[in-house]
Chain A
Amino acid sequence: MSDLRTPLRRVRGLGSAKHGVMHFVHQRVSGAALVLLICWGFSQTPFLVLHGYDGAHVWLQSPVNAALASLLLAVGLYHGQLGVQVVIEDYIGKTGTRTVLLVLNAFVAFAFAAVGVVALLKTAFGGGAL
């Protein structure tokens, strides 16, 4: 007998951190927003594919398009970060590997969201086709 503690004593402090609800709600609310943003995005795709570089510049002159495209990227990558976090937590048991992957997931998602939104705004504020 190497451990004199009761089972209750051992599990104390190992339970829920009481913050899971936040993740749950954010995943669903961002998902609901993405239903609308994806439908809008798909409605715009044919125009963008057809008109290429100049078309994209004209398209981003509209503040509505610039704002919604930024939202699609930012909300989408936030939703993706939340989702991939769950996949990592489900399948990666080793604490070190899991922590590294969780941090990497956050870095990739938020870095691409920032770079993508700045690129969209640079085009939007930079005038028409160069």
Chain B
Amino acid sequence: MAESSRPTTERPLSPHLQVWRWHVTLAVSIAHRFAGIGLYLGLLLIAGWALAVADGPAAFDTYAGLLASPVGLAVLFLITLAAFFHMANGIRHLVWDLGFGFKPKTADFTALVVIAFAVLATIAFWFRMAAFGAFAHV
């Protein structure tokens, strides 16, 4: 009888993706996941680098050549962007875990700070790489 004594009307569901207004906090939250998955791939590339270093000069040259190709450099660029973004937003998450920064205006502002940091740090990193002569062979 417990079953029939309860109302069988449709209960409200939690909001679906379609009814959310597109917002910077939403975009950063989604990008955090995509960046994290991308960094998983980045770590696999570092493991591959460690293998190439251990294997010998021939394997290293092949691997370094792949990474220095246009596609390889594009992947590496995106991985550095993902790393700076995920790191900055991860710190934002840690601050939330301490109980700060939940006001909508604060959350909006810190989301924009994370985006700005990720873009500027990525550009600075690649300028530094160029200054070190990393692209001298290209």
Contact = CB atoms under 8 A, between A and B. Distances in A.
Interface of A: 1, 3-7, 28, 31-32, 34-35, 38, 42, 45-47, 49-50, 52-53, 56-57, 60, 69, 72-73, 76-77, 80, 83-84, 87, 108-109, 112-113, 115-117, 119-120, 122-123, 126, 130
Contacts of B103: none
B3 A45 contact: no
Contact of B33 (A42, A53, A87): A87
B91 A115 contact: no
Contacts, number: 106
Contact of A53 (B3, B51, B57, B128): B57
A122 B55 CA distance: 9
B53 A60 contact: yes
B97 A3 contact: no
Main SS class of interface, B: helix
10 contacts: A4-B2, A34-B87, A45-B125, A46-B129, A57-B53, A73-B46, A115-B50, A116-B51, A119-B53, A123-B53
A45 B80 CA distance: 11
